[in-house]
Amino acid sequence: MSFRVLVPMDDSEMAERALEYALETHPDADVTVLTVVGVPSMLMGDAVSLALETDLDEASQEHAGPVLERARTIAAEHDREIDTVVGLGHPARVIVRDADDYDVIVMGSHGEHSADIARRFLVGSVAKEVFRRSPVPVTSVR
């Protein structure tokens, strides 16, 4: 049975660093990149467009496309192949829900929504929630 690594990824530099770290640190592991698309809602920024879609799965894949393409490019630069998954919902909940299928989670210390100067010194809210609730070890990458 192989070692399985989950790398949650958004469109942030920290997420890219986390993927690079996972690929370098676990050279023989099966790596899966998970990007989470928010719950469709008329009140949630980017997820508003999902609320208007007739095919939610297709729209989610399209929304996640740039992040997953970047992940594939990073993996190719390391001569590695990765699996990719798109989740739908609150990022921390989706990550924790899927964590039991993996041996470790490797994630950025904060994501794209934690870019302001005050938050750069703190762990992001999604990462913090995953640390608290994950049933498997979590490695934070800065």
Q: Which residues are bridge partners to 31 per DSSP?
A: 5
Q: Structure pTM?
A: 0.82
Predicted pLDDT of residue 37: 85
Full set of structural domains in the chain with CATH = 4-141 (3.40.50.620)
Question: How far, in Å, CA of 108 to CA of 7, rounded?
Answer: 9
Q: List per-residue pLDDT tens for the chain, 142 residues long.
A: 699 999 999 989 999 999 999 999 999 999 999 999 875 444 444 554 554 555 556 777 888 899 999 999 999 999 999 999 999 888 999 999 999 999 999 999 876 544 444 444 445 788 999 999 999 999 999 8
Q: What is the rounded distance in angstroms from the CA atom of residue 27 to the CA atom of residue 10?
A: 22
- 89 Cβ neighbours under 8 A, 6+ residues apart: 36, 38, 39
**In the structure encoding, which two tokens stand for residue 3, read together?**
């070692």
